[in-house]
Amino acid sequence: MARTTVVGACPHDCPDTCSIITTVEDGKAIAVRGNPDHPFTRGRLCVKVNNYEERVYSDKRVLYPMKRVGPKGTKQFQRISWDEAIATIATRWKAIIAEHGAQAILPYSYLGTQGVINGLNVGDPLFNKLGATVLERTFCDSGSCTAYLLTIGHTPGVDPESFVHSKYIILWACNTLSTNSHHWPFIEQAKKNGAKLVVIDPVKTRTARLADWHIQIRPGTDAALALAMMHVIIKENLVDRDYIDKHTVGFDELAERAATYTPEFASQETGIPVEDIVKLARDYATTPPAVVRIGVAVERHAGGGQTVRAIACLPGLIGAWKHVGGGLLQLPIWAFPVKWDVLMRPDLQPENMRVLNSWRLGAALTGELGFDPPIKALFVYNANPMAMVTEQDKIEKGLEREDLFTVVSEHFITDTAKYADIVLPATTQLEQKDIMFSWGHLYLSYNNQAIEPLGEAVPNTELFRRLAKAMGITDPAFFRTDDEMIEAALDWSSPVLQGITLDEVKAKGYSRLAMPASDDWAPHRDGNFPTATGKCEFKSTIAAGGNFVAPLFRQGYNGDQDGTPIDPLPHYIAPNESVRTAPALAARYPLSLISPKSHAFLNSNYGNLPAQTAQAGEEQAVILNPDDAAFRGIEAGAPIRVFNDRGSFEAYATVSSDIMAGVVVAPSGYWQRSNRKGATVHALTPPAFADLGRAPTFSDILVQVGRL
């Protein structure tokens, strides 16, 4: 028996990008385990991935191209050859282009795999070359990143490994143990060294349970808290005057602004007692090194961007950056010298392309946006919009359109794929090679291919080579091998790759970027922020240019700065939908609904697989505070309906005092099959953009819950 081990990297859209070792016996992967040598991920895999071989060999896998042979959405498919699949797509696309123009084609994608060559941008060159409608993908951290760049620039921020040196750690809207769990050992070590851990979250999550102090906050009100912290810090002169003078701009204006946000005001907004706000501000300012780790969830509200602006100002105010383990951690992705333009090829885009934000998919498909030409073809890969995007009812209606030609490349017949005219089989991470950045640590990873593709599955790179050829493209850039693409995707001359070769990364599976060691690195001890002024900008210079979307999220088209003025100082924008801001709405829909990540799913991945659904619960649960449940006569396990004017879904009630009164939680990622009536939480979410970066507002909603 031939047994080998292959080092790779987890493909998922998660900060941790774990190093994995696959044991292969006679060409079959028999085990997928964590790589104990990796300094950050340290050999442990999460509940989602520690049986990845079961995903790979699942009998539900799509292994061959298929065409639809029944009504849309009924999952009746028949196997066809790749030749037939590609020819069908090319013929339909060419006819659509001839009749309506290429903008009638809409690509839809995100980070099904995070690999540099198979991930976010793999289809962009083709669709840009065709002149298809451009998809703007501002799902995840676009608002937060925009705010972060406005304040401190594209810095990796605090090395997550430096947290062992922190003495005061705030996990702000971040459920580390579920969503970034390999960071936890560093936090635990800091705690052993005497650090205090504070978690700010409406929910007593498994992370909050292990905190020294869990501060429960009303969803969407975090900016009021951050500004009131500034108020106290400035008023009580807990600022670091020297750091402010040398390395920040706009302090006087910020102080004037913060003066208007009293702890009393913040208390009314957030539900946090005044004395707790004051104590948090004092402790944070006087327990160096103090560090904040911001979760993505903080952005999913009307004022999410300005919330991150406010939080990002805090470390500058108290000079937290002077210390190893002090400052702010958001996405260290900025450290990776990925050549995004080489991957997405914005230069191929015709002038003035139509841009559609992913949040408006439903409205685009139903015709509500009045598109001319209308969308006649949809190509989905690396994404599952039926499960993960707002206006689910409209998406469904759109996907049911007889005249819409839908192609989906997938591992499984997801809630989206079931509406496809053509389904294409995609390889999993074990069946493909890729190079990986991380948004949770500073290691570049390489995923070696462990096994041959199953059935006729192909990597996304190969899929797009086949499509390009069928569409008559001859430019050799479209036909590079995976190895050539990997080589070209990074700037190997970058200082952070000095001394690192591709061969070494391949052999070992990972390499730490050439950054200073986490034990004595304070990236902004001496300022040097990558902003226009080189300083931490309390008052933002680029805000003057109008609202923009951070690079990575905008898709290379002209017009990233839309001219809507942004207040250059951080401020509080109350939720669109809350008891305080929308009392008439709240009279009918008094509960705030949030849909954070599920521990056992990765977005909607694994929502169909036995091990993970067993852990998460087979059926969608909605968690209510005991008072809210009792008031409605709802006991644990009762079937319930969650609804507002936009729609409804049905679930089972879980009753727990972990949830703040007035808040209900629907863990995200469940498929329609796990919901009692097919619809999921996105039947209720709004399509409105948040204040910055065209981020979503899907946790900014009021609902009512009733017993069925």
Ligand X SMILES: Nc1nc2c(c(=O)[nH]1)N[C@H]1C(S)=C(S)[C@@H](COP(=O)(O)OP(=O)(O)OC[C@H]3O[C@@H](n4cnc5c(=O)[nH]c(N)nc54)[C@H](O)[C@@H]3O)O[C@H]1N2
By CB under 6 A, name the binding residues for ligand X.
13-14, 110-113, 118, 139-140, 172-175, 178-179, 200-203, 205, 217, 219-220, 222, 295-298, 301, 381-385, 387-388, 409-412, 414, 426, 460, 594-599, 601-605, 668-669, 681-682, 698-699
Minimal distance, residue 436 CB to ligand X, in Å = 12
Q: Which partner, ligand X, Mo ion, none, binds residue 153 by CB below 5 to 8 Å per kind? A: none
Minimal distance, residue 176 CB to Mo ion, in Å = 15
Closer residue to Mo ion (CB): 116 or 660: 116
Amino acid at 226: A
Amino acid at 510: Y
Q: Which partner, Mo ion, ligand X, none, binds residue 604 by CB below 5 to 8 Å per kind? A: ligand X
b/e string for 270-303 if b means 16 or more Cβ within 10 A? bbbeeebbbebbeebbebbbbbbbbbbbbbbbbb
Residue 294 binding Mo ion, by CB under 5 A: no
Residue 62 binding Mo ion, by CB under 5 A: no
Minimal distance, residue 123 CB to Mo ion, in Å = 19
Minimal distance, residue 114 CB to Mo ion, in Å = 10
Amino acid at 500: I
For residue 649, give both structure tokens: 């879904």
Closer residue to ligand X (CB): 257 or 597: 597
What is the distance between the alpha carbons of residues 472 and 476, in angstroms, rounded to a whole number? 12
Taking the CA atoms of 538, 555, 343 and 182 in sequence, report the sign of the dihedral they define. positive
Q: Which residues neighbour 373 within 8 Å (Cβ) at sequence distance 6 or greater?
A: 100, 101, 103, 104
Closer residue to Mo ion (CB): 140 or 549: 140
The footprint of Mo ion on this chain (CB under 5 A) covers a number of residues equal to: 1
Minimal distance, residue 426 CB to ligand X, in Å = 3
Strand-pairing partners, residue 33, are 21
Closer residue to ligand X (CB): 251 or 437: 437
Minimal distance, residue 592 CB to ligand X, in Å = 9
Parallel/antiparallel/unpaired status of strands 327-329 and 290-294: parallel
Closer residue to Mo ion (CB): 55 or 137: 137
Amino acid at 242: D
Amino acid at 472: G
Closer residue to ligand X (CB): 217 or 348: 217
Per CB under 5 A, the segment of 139-147, 164-172, 390-398, 458-466 that binds Mo ion is 139-147
Closer residue to ligand X (CB): 203 or 233: 203
Residue 29 binding Mo ion, by CB under 5 A: no
Closer residue to Mo ion (CB): 140 or 333: 140
Residue 14 binding Mo ion, by CB under 5 A: no
Q: Which residues neighbour 582 within 8 Å (Cβ) at sequence distance 6 or greater?
A: 576, 702
For residue 671, give both structure tokens: 């498929």
What is the distance between the alpha carbons of residues 294 and 574, in angstroms, rounded to a whole number? 19
Q: Which partner, ligand X, Mo ion, none, binds residue 110 by CB below 5 to 8 Å per kind? A: ligand X
Closer residue to Mo ion (CB): 13 or 240: 13
Closer residue to ligand X (CB): 133 or 221: 221
Residue nearest to ligand X (CB): 112
Minimal distance, residue 534 CB to ligand X, in Å = 30
Q: How many other CB atoms sit within 10 Å of the CB of residue 36? A: 11
Q: Which partner, ligand X, Mo ion, none, binds residue 18 by CB below 5 to 8 Å per kind? A: none
Please state whether the peptide bond connecting residue 160 to the residue before it is cis, i.e. omega within 30 degrees of 0: no
Q: What are the C-alpha distances in Å from 498 to residues 51, 130, 381?
A: 36, 37, 34
Minimal distance, residue 554 CB to Mo ion, in Å = 17
Rg (CA), the chain: 25
Minimal distance, residue 322 CB to ligand X, in Å = 26
Longest dimension (CA), the chain: 73
Minimal distance, residue 205 CB to ligand X, in Å = 4
Residue 602 binding Mo ion, by CB under 5 A: no
* Helix residue spans in 605-678 (DSSP H): 610-616, 626-631
Confirm if 303 and 505 have CB atoms less than 8 A apart.
no
Residue nearest to Mo ion (CB): 140
Q: How many other CB atoms sit within 10 Å of the CB of residue 70? A: 10
Residue 140 binding Mo ion, by CB under 5 A: yes
Residues that bind Mo ion (CB under 5 A): 140
